[in-house]
Homo-oligomer: A and B are copies of this chain.
Amino acid sequence: MTATAARVDSRHTPRKRAGNGAAPRDVADDVGLDALAGHAGYAVRRFQIWIFQDFIKTLGEVDIRPTQYSVLTVIGANPGLSQMAVAKRLGIERARLVHLLDSLEQRKLVKRIKSKEDRRSHALHLTAQGETALAKFKRLAAEHERHVEAKIGRENRAQLLRILAGFT
């Protein structure tokens, strides 16, 4: 007689599964989500939460979050970019990028160099320390990608990247 809270008051509960007489194992296991099953946004949101948590955990030893990683990667691949260019490319506000760069600059990973051509802007570069650090970050990120493969399957991950290639 332990199924007090676990048993859903099934007076008005619509029949979702036919004849499933199994005992409820956990509270939310027999809660139907049928209406949400067909929504792409919900699935994508849940997946994105999972993938970010794994990224944060996998890169936890170096204390790098996904947004920081993307900033470092873009700067590493395109040295000398302005803050505006980086923000526009990554789809983040330039106001937000200020704080991100403050943090990364304090950690001696990037440096802002006053541009000669346009004295309003800063040319962004990785420090030497930042380059070696980014190499390590990339190895950990590759490990994270393997976690993704293990989670959804190698072929499915490839299809996902193909489907969403237009958003990068």
Q: Quick one: given A42-B70, A159-B159, A161-B40, are A31 and B81 in contact (CB under 8 Å)?
A: yes
Decide if B164 touches A73 in the complex (CB within 8 Å): no
Q: How many copies of this kind of chain does the complex include?
A: 2
- In A10-65, the 8 Å CB interface with B consists of 11-14, 16, 24, 26-28, 31-52, 55
Cβ distance A73 to chain B, nearest Cβ, rounded Å: 5
Whether A157 sits at the interface, judged by CB under 8 Å, is yes
Partner of A77, one of B32, B86, B160: B32
With A38-B145, A40-B148, A41-B51 already in contact, 17 other A-B pairs whose C-beta atoms are closer than 8 Å? A4-B117, A4-B118, A5-B118, A7-B77, A8-B85, A11-B80, A14-B77, A24-B88, A27-B88, A28-B89, A33-B89, A40-B157, A43-B160, A43-B161, A49-B91, A153-B163, A160-B163
A163 (CB) vs chain B CBs: closest residue = B156
Q: B-facing mask of A126-164, CB < 8 A → 1, else 0? A: 000001000100100100110010001100110111011
